[in-house]
Structure 1
């Protein structure tokens, strides 16, 4: 268990697959942190942000590849309904940028419980209950993934010269608007 006594920062970077990012895959710890700092400096990241990255414990810095599930409902849970099913990321894996994976899995579990309870009460067969659950899960999973991938596309769009410039100009404006709303 990890316990912090001071401010804690969680930071991350997402890069599209390319020859330029392939070299990052084999790096760990301090080497990865140094490579990321170099890339962030080249892209003109703010010094305060770079300081957060530079102070990160090298043992806490790691890279990983992620793949999201399809956003098309018909491609999720493409097996015939039976006595065994899956839910959450096993069916509709969301990118970590969305913050939606656990919530979607909880919704799946609650919906599965509702459908299995109907089967236990004898109002439907277990196969029909699982089939109905999976149909709803595919629909919900598709909606969650569609929203999550919008975030991914936005992040990847900032990995261009125009996207980075728009971020530099737009972020203070968006922050000011958010402060005015509260």
Structure 2
């Protein structure tokens, strides 16, 4: 919802995808030994009938060399933790959950999954989450077409990251794309500072690369969003019921 990007584009640069998400954190030690083994130090996404989906990612800041400074570890989490995200289609029922907080929101999420027939052990990561970490947010996305991103002539003002290519978290690449934008902008502005190109041309080259990167990431993210929404149809729900046990068995064999 960047004011600058909206001004440059002459209107909103993204719109709702039809998915609402809820996230939270669960300490690994708070889960049962069975869930320790099942989830392991991995990340994964499960999609069930009627567009219910659950992502679980593992974070171990102590064992991650990127967090070799104690002050950085403390800012994220203090021990091995599962970061999870629940996803459902937007509706009157799910919109009302955005007004809930803490334990009430956690209980409501568990109810939505149980209504959709999820096995109880798969919900343990939500049931044992820190209630203060649970929050809801709408999935917004920009167009997947590169030509639609940053639709303004290059000049002395530009934008980057989600201000241009707002990306749902379903690709896990939104923040990375913004960092690449920043690096690209620095490279092109350095060329302008050296006198090898004009400032306007430098910004134009930067924006061209940003459009390409944003389109690639958005295309990946929206594939998952559309897959989730497809399971909310009669045919999609039936296909999910049939295919889920097969996919689960294949995943167990791989691990």
TM-score normalised by the chain length of structure 1:
0.86
Structure with greater proportional strand content? 2
Aligned mates of 1:22, 1:72 — CA distance in 2:
28
Q: Between Structure 1 and Structure 2, how many residues are aligned?
A: 178
SS of residue in 2 equivalent to 1:15: strand
Q: For the Cα contact (< 8 Å) 1:14–1:156, is it kept in 2?
A: no
Which residue pairs with 1:15 in the alignment? Answer: 88
Deviations 1:7-46 (A, max 9, x none): 4222221112223323222222111111111111121212
Structure 1: 4+ residue segments shifted above 6 A:
none
Find the aligned partners of 1:57 and 1:159 in 2 and give their Cα distance: 29
- What is the TM-score with the length of structure 2 in the denominator? 0.64
Following the alignment from structure 1 to structure 2, what is the Cα–Cα distance between the partners of residues 57 and 176?
28
Residues 151 and 174 of structure 1: CA distance in aligned 2, closer, same or farther (over 3 Å): farther
In the other structure, the counterpart of 1:172 is: 248
Higher RCO structure, 1 or 2 (CA under 8 Å, sep 6+): 2
Shift of the 166–21 alpha-carbon distance from structure 1 to 2, 3 Å rule, reads farther
Q: Equivalent of 2:120, from 40, 44, 47?
A: 47
Question: Following the alignment from structure 1 to structure 2, what is the Cα–Cα distance between the partners of residues 174 and 153?
Answer: 23
SS in 1 for 2:138: coil
- CA RMSD, Structure 1 to Structure 2 (Å): 2.0
1:124 Cα offset (Å): 1.3
> 1:167 deviation in Å?
5.5
Structure 1: gaps of 5 or more residues:
none
1:63-89 Cα deviation digits (max 9, x unpaired): 111201111212211122112211111
